[in-house]
Chain A
Amino acid sequence: MTLLGPALAVSAVLFALGVAGVVIRRNVIVIFMCVELMLNAVNLTFIALAQRLGIQGHVFVFFVMAVAAAEAAVGLAIILAVFRHRETVDLKDITLLKG
């Protein structure tokens, strides 16, 4: 029993939820969490497809987890710095880079 179809469906739902969260939410922390959700949805896809396509899927998941960890470290540091400066993590108020 491979459960490939349900696994891909779950990962697609998770990815869509992540995208929706990034687009809709204003709080940077939440957006950050949504990005993690998207990454993990992709990981699930890799794992599911690795049954068919070989070990590379497993390897790639580790790369993604490593990059996600680094991203979390840098991202949280930036959010912390911004919060210290502006006393807010609402994206509506952080719009300095506009034309």
Chain B
Amino acid sequence: MRNDPAVTLVWLVLALPLAGFLLNGALALLAPQKKTVVSVIGVGVLAAAFAVAVAAFAALARGHTAEPAILTYWSWLPVGALRVDFALQVDALSTVMLLVVTGVGSLIHVFSVGYMREDPGYARYFAYLNLFVFFMLILVLGANFPVMFVGWEGVGLCSYLLIGFWFNERINADAGKKAFIVNRIGDAGFLIAMYLIFQHTGSLDFRTVFSKAPALLAPGGPAVTAITLFLFLGCTGKSAQIPLLTWLPDAMQGPTPVSALIHAATMVTAGVYLVVRCNVLYALAPLSQTVVAGIGALTALFAAVIATKQWDIKRVLAYSTISQLGYMFLGVGTGAMAAGMFHLVTHAFFKALLFLGAGSVIHAMHHAFHATRAHEDAQDMRNMGGLKQHLPWTANLMWVATLAIAGVPPLAGFFSKDEILAAAFARGSHDAAWYGFWGLGVATALLTAFYMTRLMLYTFHGPNRTGDAERAHLHEAPWIMTGPLVVLGVLTVAGGMLNAPPLLGGGTWLHHWLDPVTRAAAALWPAAHLAPALEWTLLLGAVLVAAAGIAVARSLLRPDALVPARLAPPETGLARVLLKKLYLDEIYDAAIVRPITWLSTEVLWKIVDLRLVDGLAVNGAARLTRTAGWLGSRLQTGNVGVYVAVFVIGVLAVLTAATR
């Protein structure tokens, strides 16, 4: 299989987006108005990369081999005992990610052609987007930690560039900076974990590390626990989990397709991918598993609670993304790697659909407000309502995604979410903490159904609050934008078949497909099996929870009582606390940012730099020299007699010393 041309040509998957970045980047600098060429290059390279990814996937499926194909291109960092090659790894896990990134990425690129058509930075936008895909593919294809880290940092850079894409507004540039800086904290964890891995195993190659780990690292020992916890710190940054979740809501300042691609479908799931990749290490560290699952479950509930009171349509989806990422971590922390990956894939489908649908809504709202020169918020749900008449395709497709994320069978989200919850429940028989995590997950499922129904009701139903003049300008987006929505809608409906449980007549295909990657971990933690009756009960319970959430939202919420954002009274009480995400930003500001700023200005700048470095060291050295010079110059009286006297005394002294 290693010689299969489809596998050896996998470098093309990387080269194509890179070429797209270089060409579009050149066009952005030289001929930014050539939008047709930019679209052809930008979308073309992605489609071609998708084709190569499909070919690689097919070759791997034909090969039926458990061994990953490792393609080494050149020696990158040969330093002493450390040997790092630039090498790519094609195996079951990376091909799944490859397909998601290039597949969903292609659809979002197509959508962007319509969404960004009138933007003056069109070529720059596609250059960044292609660069992002390039780095994301390095991340998923890297065969060792450093190569993966290059992709890990690269996607962070592209995230920064695209969040601050409209950088002439201060709030956007600040949001980009925030994302970048918060991610640095996580990246430090990743780096420390890499040092520890090298220290304990002497290698950074995935295959070597994971095959040696069970022999070299004591199960549950401090080394493997520290490694996995530091890796997870990296994940909390990249995947916006507690405590580093604050950057993702602000990241919504970027263009909406960017939110769909980077901050929903691909980049933020890199943390989940990392945990699945290192499944052997996590299987050796039960404490870390508890932390991963616990943080995941807590984040899921926390973000879902906040999402129930947001007015910005994209912010609801951002918190929803954080919440769903929490589910994935609950899954992989439980040891159900396939379930976590399954949710990653289905989430990529339905969340990309939701974000692109929101993009379509914002596009329509923006045009309506632009036509009447109104300066209203095009993303505030209080300014929407009744859009179903104007955007029927978007409304129906978003309802499909809403039902999927809420967990209504037989849509994709139902299967993946249920599998994670079932795995958590099963683990509860070993460790009671998991019953708690399961409870958090169920509560999150209820809230998810609630806030998503709320979003749909406020956006598409009830009376329209956009304004009488604006209403005439509301219309469905062009086909280049609704087309990708339809494809994602189909995937959202059918995606559950990837890993449908045997209970419902499915073949758990994804589970078998990922088996070579997760086998070692599964051997350490055999999956607990639930009795079919219990499994049925859980399934029915999940469906009931979803239905309850939707029903509660329908009965409690009154879309017709809403008023447009400019007329709405300010929020009070709990709603205000939730709108401000429990003042998390303010708490971090007071507890971390301000003390650091104070320490930097008052101590490090005014004392250490001004007084010690500048004062004592730099000016002190000058002063010392000058004083010594002044003292020496006192000897130079200009009086020859004195010189002669000193000279004679010196000669006498030398003679005395010489004759003694």
Contact = CB atoms under 8 A, between A and B. Distances in A.
Interface of A: 19, 22-24, 26, 31, 91-92, 94-99
B641 interface: yes
B572 interface: no
Interface string B624-648: 0000000011111111110011001
B645 A98 contact: no
B274 to A, nearest CB: 70
Contacts of A26: 641
Contact of A23 (B637, B638, B645): B645
A99 B636 contact: yes
B648 A98 contact: no
Contacts of A99: 632-637
B641 A23 contact: yes
B636 A23 contact: no
Contacts of A96: 638
Contacts of A31: 640
A22 B639 CA distance: 12
B638 A97 contact: yes
A97 B636 CA distance: 8
Contacts of A94: 638, 640
Given A19-B648, A99-B632, A91 B641 contact: yes
Nearest to A25: B641
A35 to B, nearest CB: 10
Contacts of B637: 95, 98-99
A92 B641 CA distance: 9
25 contacts: A19-B648, A22-B641, A22-B644, A23-B641, A23-B645, A24-B641, A26-B641, A91-B639, A91-B640, A91-B641, A92-B639, A94-B638, A95-B637, A95-B639, A96-B638, A97-B636, A97-B638, A98-B636, A98-B637, A98-B638, A98-B639, A99-B632, A99-B634, A99-B635, A99-B636
A42 to B, nearest CB: 14
A96 B635 CA distance: 14
Contacts of A92: 639
Contacts of A97: 636, 638
Which of B632, B635, B638 counts the most chain A CB atoms within 10 A? B638
A31 to B, nearest CB: 8
Nearest to B651: A19
B636 to A, nearest CB: 3
A23 B648 contact: yes
